[in-house]
Amino acid sequence: MWIKICGIRDPETVSQIAALGPDAVGFNFFRGSKRFIDIAAAADGVRRLPAGIAPVGVFVNHSLDEIREICAQTGIATVQLHGDESPDFAAELTGLKVIRVYRIGSAGLQPVSEDIARCRTVGLEPRACLVEPAVAGQYGGSGTTAPWESIAAGWQTAEWPPLVLAGGLTPENVAEAIRAVRPWGVDVASGVESSPGAKDAGRTAKFLQAARDAS
């Protein structure tokens, strides 16, 4: 089970969370987020990560040049496109691993199917696909739970990239979510925080244990 702790805002917290052993940590470069981290702090955080814990850059409608420059300055090689980026845009990020993000709303998984088909048309095979609920006016981190049953039913019958489940996951419900969806990975931000944007080591440790036990 691949587990990502997303939205760490400072290098000291990176060290604290890394000591718990997740598979990845997310650095959010979207200035509109309460989990925003600047380039210098992210670069410091990446340097603190031990081998085996991957840094992931979270981007929301940044330009190609901005993404490339931030990745070059921080040493990040995996990008999570959390805005309205098209497959054609993502395909331009050669040399970087791309995580596609899908916000599931009333249209269900049909937009996912169409997007993945377009990705393959332009020669892009995402590292993974992260799915979360659609919440008006928000690009993730809302704490709202995704529609687990419909996601599971659709993904299990399709030949799509690995599924990362996000949206409203907590130490208390992640085991249930994993049993319902059987994802390749899980991603958490608000569910392991003591206050908005502030990661709690105790809740993070419980989340990691619960996810691994369930998987």
pLDDT tens-digit series, residues 61-83? 999 999 999 999 999 999 999 99
Q: Is the pLDDT of residue 196 over 90?
A: no
CA–CA dist 108, 148 (Å, integer): 11
Tell which residue, 23, 33, 154, 24, has the closest CA to residue 83. Answer: 33
Residue-range domain boundaries for the chain = 2-214
Nearest residue to 37 (alpha-carbon basis) of 14, 2, 16, 7 = 7
Percent of the chain exceeding pLDDT 90 equals 81
Angle among Cα 162, 168, 169 to the nearest 5 degrees reads 65
Give me the half-sphere count of Cα atoms (radius 13 Å) on the Cβ side of residue 85.
26
CATH number assigned to the domain covering 2-214: 3.20.20.70
Quick one: average pLDDT of 84-96? 97
Q: What are the tokens at 205?
A: 């440790």
pTM of the shown model: 0.93
- Taking the C-alpha atoms of residue 103 and residue 215, their distance in angstroms, rounded to an integer, is 24
